[in-house]
Structure 1
Amino acid sequence: MDRIQHDGVLIVGAGLAGLSAALAAAPRKVLVLTGAPLNHGCSSAWAQGGMAAALSADDTPALHAADTVAAGAGLVDADMARLLAEEGPAAVRKLAAMGAPFDRDAQGEFATSLEAAHSRARVARVKGDQAGRAIMDAVVKAALSARHIQVRAGARLRGLLQDAEGTVRGVVVEQDGRLMEITAAATILATGGVGGLYAVTTTPPELRGEGLGLAALAGAQIADPEFVQFHPTAIDIGRDPAPLATEALRGEGAKLINAAGEAFMAGYHPDAELAPRDVVARAIHAEREAGRGAFLDARAAVGDHFPEEFPAVFAACLSGGIDPRVQPIPVSPACHYHMGGIVTDAHGATSLPGLYAAGECASTGVHGANRLASNSLLEAAVFGTRAGEAARDARDPGTRPLRAMAAPDLPEAAIAQLRTAMSRDAGVVRDAAGLTRLLAEIDALETAHGRAPALVAARLVASAALDRKASLGAHFRADGVAEGERRRTFITLPTANRIAAVAAVAAE
């Protein structure tokens, strides 16, 4: 295959983390690879709630860090949470200076909103539910204007290049049906999450954890893959991906009701609608499983103001035949965010020399077992910038990459089978029998189609979920022990394979 030598930083992914890294790597040359056109195919542009940061007079980074640690159910790296919170206000102001039109109050200060598990109103928003798209519009414009950045769209990641010592020297990509190798002094993966592994997701379905899977195949250490956050209120109108009813609606006073019109959240948690996301997701799941249904009732809280206050939610509802001004919105939990990922330090460096990671595919330790609402865009901006700054100073080791083969693809029928199995057995509620069945199904798909990165990512999630026998945060075991050790999961692919093999023997 053809080989291109890039004398600079190579970034795979063009969401907020990838483009933040690209901008921060200046004046070093940067090549950004993206499978979709800019501002498409990335979760950043779909984010509704906004960016959490201590921007108001009654808030501090210490309070924000404390809320982040509390939401993470004991698994958050406190030092990383403190770093995120301390650098958060400057990150928001930097994006505003780029042109992101955050809502302002009468005095011109950031207008901030309250979301679940926050002790202060600290979420900077754009027109209620337009933050992700507006932020990405500004960042894309800045990236396209930067002379040091080149963007190659339509390039799909198919593998990582390594030398004989295991140092990552670049990637294998497919473009226009042809494979090519691209070498670089430093490679940053900003490939997004695992939503496309699930049958119901709020993220672009093409995000199937392939960066995570390829890093694991190359030998990288992975952290906390079992912790998958399910957004409680995806709009249940049969769409793939499912439109999102932002958590800000509950912050404004919207209530969760069942088909009989009964508000049910107070029976599950004293904070009712503002309980942590994992609690709300399980409550909705339980109501639906019991046949009572679940709806978000914003008629009194928002009502006639929907078109101007929450235009994205309003448009999505209307497209499904629901008028949220006068009707409750049918909702269902959906895969929304992956707390786990490729282990990185505070500068984005992974366990593999030459490889960095940022955004949802990375695990910095700031999310723990349950991400605090609206910390995802902030993490992408803060740690994407840090990864870009670190990679900027990397020098080409001068080693020769070994010839690499592209990882196999999964046919559409196999993808559909995998998504159904993941939602069934590694979803909101899990147990040993289901996870063992899931791992057997992943084994069968791998035998039939090869070690596709999506299957590797799914194996990591399922194996770690089976190994953690106690419920914690977003990981809920219906058959679990009452309490387990509050430890993070650090795993490699061989360890995941051993967990699956032991489970297979036990099931015989």
Structure 2
Amino acid sequence: MKDKNQMQLSQQNDQYDLIVVGAGLAGLTVALEVASHKKIAILAKRQLTEAATAWAQGGIVGVLDKKDSFESHIGDTLEAGAGIVSESTARYIAENSFNAIEWLVEQGVEFTTDPEGPLGLHLTREGGHTHRRIAHAADATGKAIHDALLAKVKNHPNIDLLEHWIALDLITNRHLVQKPNKDYKKSIQKDQCLGVYALDIKENKVKTLTADAVVLATGGVGKVYKYTTNPDTSTGDGIAMAWRAGCRVGNMEFMQFHPTCLYHPEERSFLITEALRGEGGQLKLPDGTRFMADHDERMELAPRDIVARAIDFEIKKHGLEYVLLDATHLGADFLKEHFPTIYAKCLSVGIDITKQAIPVVPAAHYTCGGVVTDLNGQTDLPHLYSVGEATCTGLHGANRLASNSLLECVVIGKSTAKKILEEHQSSIPLVKQWDDSQVEDADELVVISHNWDELRSLMWNYVGIVRTTRRLERALHRIEFLKTEVDEYYSNFKVNRDLIELRNLLDCAELIVRSALARKESRGLHYNRDYPDTFAVSYPTILTPVRKKDGIKVAEEA
């Protein structure tokens, strides 16, 4: 895209060995494993504590019990993933789960203990799992993990924490000076990642950060939907940047909706962990009737997509605003001990879960697709890696198995770090500085807020739990119009965080819709009323970008 935000030639930039975009579990794992050998910058676009990791309640998978097995965990992952999980990826993740839990314990994570449990840990069970294999820290596992790793990172001399910085785009060979000398030409590949352009939000200035390698650990894209359990950081930044830089993106039609988000006007993003159902919580209609037996023989322990669609069905069938999750029969002492966060949060809005059922609705929760990578986090672009929810490693397939995500962050994070330590760039060529001297301050910010609201509403209404081809086509048409409007705005005005995030959300929304249109069946998290059947054999949806004069286009859909 040609715009007035052109680059000027300059050698002034901040150079690192590694730039990690995102400060969640995946990014922190890479940073901690690399920091003894390299100088690192970690970019966090809000406060360091606002990563999605800290919001994870349930836990992390660990095949620790002698009664459990790798094969059982792999089987559960394959079953949940509805036929398009990479078995080799699932095996790699499962076989490294013990080491991942052990590594987290070494970092100071304080899991809930059980003197008789493996590694002295208490293990719980969640939907889709055939064994108790979820290590947890009460019902705030993500926060316990994130706090422990952040403490390590903050005290490491080789790590710069750039809080309130947001990446705009990746620096690639397209951003080199126009006529590099012969030595530069010999030292660079056809295309590679050389760093990021990033906005220092507090200074309101875009800066050039170059590095031997860049890791995208930006999380998912839940904020593209009106209702989500995700934090405000989940705007698909890494997925959009990688796509614009020429990387393939996979399985974006598989957006996981968490079945049980607290329904309350004061708390619109608080999820009720799946572990509550794993321990015996029951889903009921307002009149007290249980309904999951009508949808799946596993009832409340069915995978999330089935439970979410069941709740959506019952809400629409009976004209309800919510259903109830009843755990009162588990006993007050048990609930207060194992689910203190949920107990306290619900109590703060007038719901005593020891005496009352919890009103719940589904909400967008996890992005099962993302940037296509191998098991070392390597993307299609040399020196660019991606880890965590921003990626498509093949682990989640058409539906993520509960608590596999935190495990993937650690296992792939560690393998990515190992790969980065084995490789380095011979030199960083001269790149162009960001120059916004020819653009103006935004005249009316209402354009951004209005388009943001419109996008999230149309995605919720047209590209939600249940889809139709006509709805998807309408959504795509409107997204294309909004993209044109935002691109024009981006070209003429100085950037800010809201504009950057909206631009990324629109790119990701288009990827979700195009992926959904490409799948002529219903599978896992993707349900299309026009194609309700499931093929006997199916494959991942891979979108490949091609650069044209008027922007990035889809080259192929497979």
Task: State whether TM-score is above 0.5.
Answer: yes
Partner of 1:375: 404
- 1:131-280 equivalence runs, <5 A: 131-164=141-174, 165-175=190-200, 176-239=203-266, 241-280=268-307
Q: Give the TM-score normalised by structure 1.
A: 0.94
Larger Rg: 2
RMSD between aligned residues: 2.3
C-alpha distance 84-405 of structure 1, shift in aligned 2 (>3 A): farther
Q: Give the TM-score normalised by structure 2.
A: 0.85
Work out whether 1:400 is the aligned partner of 2:409.
no
Work out whether 1:417 is the aligned partner of 2:454.
yes
Deviates more, 1:486-495 or 1:348-357: 486-495
Give the CA deviation at 1:172.
0.7
Matches of 2:284 and 2:67 in 1, distance apart?
Answer: 33
Give the CA deviation at 1:426.
1.2
Give the CA deviation at 1:412.
1.8
Give the CA deviation at 1:241.
4.8
Work out whether 1:352 is the aligned partner of 2:352.
no
Work out whether 1:491 is the aligned partner of 2:543.
yes
Partner of 2:183: none
Q: For 1:6, what is the secondary structure of its paired residue? A: strand
Query: Contact 2:262–2:268 at 8 Å: present in 1 too?
Result: no
C-alpha distance 216-498 of structure 1, shift in aligned 2 (>3 A): closer
Query: Contact 2:282–2:290 at 8 Å: present in 1 too?
Result: yes
Query: Contact 1:161–1:403 at 8 Å: present in 2 too?
Result: no
Matches of 1:478 and 1:397 in 2, distance apart?
Answer: 53
C-alpha distance 208-489 of structure 1, shift in aligned 2 (>3 A): same
Partner of 1:123: 134
Give the CA deviation at 1:321.
2.4
| Residue identity opposite 1:150 in structure 2 | D
| Residue identity opposite 1:455 in structure 2 | L
Query: Contact 1:51–1:375 at 8 Å: present in 2 too?
Result: yes
Work out whether 1:31 is the aligned partner of 2:41.
yes
- Aligned sequence identity (%): 37
Which deviations, in whole Å up to 9, do the C-alpha atoms of 1:437-476 show, x marking residues without a partner? 1111111111211182211111000110111121100111
Which structure 2 residue ranges, 5 or more long, are not aligned? 1-7, 175-189, 491-502
Give the CA deviation at 1:500.
12
Q: For 1:166, what is the secondary structure of its paired residue? A: coil
Q: What is the aligned residue count? A: 500
Matches of 1:238 and 1:360 in 2, distance apart?
Answer: 28
Query: Contact 1:33–1:151 at 8 Å: present in 2 too?
Result: yes
Partner of 1:114: 125
Matches of 1:206 and 1:343 in 2, distance apart?
Answer: 21
| Residue identity opposite 2:32 in structure 1 | L
| Residue identity opposite 2:324 in structure 1 | F
- 1:305-344 equivalence runs, <5 A: 305-344=334-373
Q: For 1:168, what is the secondary structure of its paired residue? A: coil
Q: For 2:194, what is the secondary structure of its paired residue? A: strand
Partner of 1:453: 504
C-alpha distance 239-230 of structure 1, shift in aligned 2 (>3 A): farther
Query: Contact 2:52–2:233 at 8 Å: present in 1 too?
Result: no
Matches of 1:233 and 1:61 in 2, distance apart?
Answer: 29
Partner of 1:426: 463
Partner of 1:439: 476
| Residue identity opposite 1:328 in structure 2 | A
Which structure 1 residue ranges, 5 or more long, are not aligned? 503-508
Give the CA deviation at 1:212.
0.5
Q: For 2:84, what is the secondary structure of its paired residue? A: coil
Matches of 1:73 and 1:50 in 2, distance apart?
Answer: 22
